[in-house]
Amino acid sequence: MSWGFEPSKYMNITVKDLLDAGVHFGHQVRRWNPKSKPYVYANRHGISIIDLEKTYDLLEKACDAIADVVASGKSVLLVGTKRQAEEPIREMAAATNTSFCVNRWMGGTLTNFQTVSTSLAKYKKYLRMEEDGSLDALPGKEGAAIKRQMSRMHRNFEGLLDLKSLPGALFIIDTNNESIAVTEANRMKIPVIALVDSNSDPTLIDHPIPGNDDSTKSIRIVIDVISEAIQGGFARRTEVPTHRRDITPVTQEPEFGDQGDEPEVTLPEGYEDMDFDDRGRDSRDEAEAKPAEEKVEAVAAVEEAPAAEDAPAVEDEPPAKAESEESTEEATSEEPSVEEAPAVEEAPEEPAVEEEVSEEANSEEAKDADEDTSKA
């Protein structure tokens, strides 16, 4: 059979394999759904016969769709609560490490996932208590109540322990039996891949697979192909690089090498070439630093001059005073400045103070001499 396109790499079966597995058997004509007419080949002995060529094509499209979902990093939830689908679904979940539901579909599993996740966390807590032995340490009545609750949770949440978020797709066996799951998935905009029989409505399904959903052999051959597609999706998964905002990308500057002609750069007004040259910037800084150093040295010399003047003022030595006056005059003549003016004015005032002290001393000596003469 050739349809003008490349077959999917996940399809490891043929139409004859589907025929041998009994996928073409539908329901009785009186129970058929008129919307499934496009997939019915004929009616034989009151039983609808499904067109296997269309089944093969739709199964191939479903495999590609579910592989893309898994490759994008999302999970797939397997649903099949009828007796014929329970064991194949368990085997498929174990082979692909995916979540499943085979006992009873909990209403609100998708539409009220926040509440369901709370119940799942509670069930996980009870399981940890049972493992570490803390459940046996509880009083008998309390422990018995928790064990009864755990048995009910195990029936409802058996394959959902690893479901941490809403699944990316649902794979369902018998959409009539799982009508609540289909409704919730359509409401949450989750794509549905399902095996639909002639009594089901394929228009509610995103990727319908027409076939017999009442035979274990028919269910198993479809599940095997879907399992291959899921494993292929896992193989296609790639790690998504994480972008950190606090890291700036490093851009590597191009190396132009030794080029003879350098491009001309026109600087705006008010800028000089020295502003963009490191060597020019360094020389300009040195030129600015020299006048500042000279000014600091001059201020230090001026501060040392008054200190030299104060030292001989305490000792009554006229020659030292004369030398200090000469030094101050020379300093003022060499470096006239605003700060040195007070030092030149204060120098003549010191001899006057010393003369007053000497006159007072002479007057006191004269008085003492007069008193001694009077006593004599």
Task: Indicate the angle between helix axes 113-132 and 140-157, nearest 10 degrees.
Answer: 130
Of 76, 81, 77, the residue nearest 102 (C-alpha)? 81
Cβ of 237: how many Cβ atoms within 10 Å? 11
- C-alpha 161/C-alpha 155 separation (Å) is 12
Q: Has this prediction a pTM greater than 0.85?
A: no
Per-residue pLDDT reduced to its tens digit, 85-121: 999 999 999 999 999 999 989 889 999 999 999 999 9
| Structure confidence by residue, pLDDT tens digits, 273-285 | 555 555 555 666 6
* CA dist 281 → 117, 151, 290 (Å): 67, 82, 15
Element (H, E) at 40: strand 40-44
**Segment 57-88, tens digit of pLDDT:** 999 999 999 999 999 999 999 999 999 999 99
Which of 48-52, 65-69, 169-173, 234-238 is predicted with the least confidence, judged by mean pLDDT? 234-238
At 361, list the tokens: 């001393």
Residue 319 pLDDT class (50, 70, 90 cuts): very low
Contact 194, 39 (CB under 8 A): no
Alpha carbon distance 134, 345 (integer Å): 99
Looking at this protein, which amino acid is placed at residue 194? A
- DSSP per-residue codes, 214-279: S-HHHHHHHHHHHHHHHHHHHHH--PPPPPPTT-PPPPPPP---S-SSPPP-PPPTT--GGGG-HH
